[in-house]
Amino acid sequence: MEAHLDRMGADALIVGDVLMFRKDACISEILEETYHYEQNLNGLNNDKDIILQSILNEIDAKEYLIANAKKYKIPRKKWN
């Protein structure tokens, strides 16, 4: 699992129905991948081609994180 996360340059991923998290994955990464898992279970945007489905699901997941930032105490990243 660690090797796959290294190859993908990620701290958290979903592959099929398997969620992968590094021990130090941050809350937003865990929430986002868990949300993607639920999107897949519910077949969200399955009627679209794979690229459009991925884009729409990413937008939906980011909107979820923004809407729930206070609830889950998601820190705002400071950009330099």
7-65 confidence digits (pLDDT tens): 999 999 999 999 999 999 999 999 999 999 999 999 999 999 999 999 999 999 999 99
The residue segments making up the domain with residue 64 are 23-80
Any domain includes 41: yes
Tell whether the model's pLDDT for residue 71 goes beyond 60.
Answer: yes
Q: Does pTM surpass 0.85?
A: yes
33 Cβ contact list (under 8 Å, min separation 6): 12, 13, 14, 19, 20, 21
**What gap in Å lies between CA 12 and CA 10, rounded to an integer?**
5
Whether 50 is in a domain gets the answer: yes
Instruction: Return the SS3 of 29.
Output: helix
Kindly provide the b/e burial profile for residues 34-64, where b requires at least 16 CB atoms within 10 angstroms of the residue's own CB. Answer: bbbeebbeeebbeeeeeeebeeebeeebeeb
Residue 44 resides in a domain: yes
Whether residue 80 has pLDDT greater than 60: no
Model pLDDT for residues 53-63, shown as the tens digit of each residue? 999 999 999 99
In a domain, 54, yes or no: yes
Residues in the chain: 80
Other beta carbons within 10 angstroms of residue 33's beta carbon come to: 20
Residue 79 banded pLDDT, cuts 50, 70, 90: low
pLDDT of res. 78: 58
Q: Report the number of distinct structural domains present in the chain.
A: 1
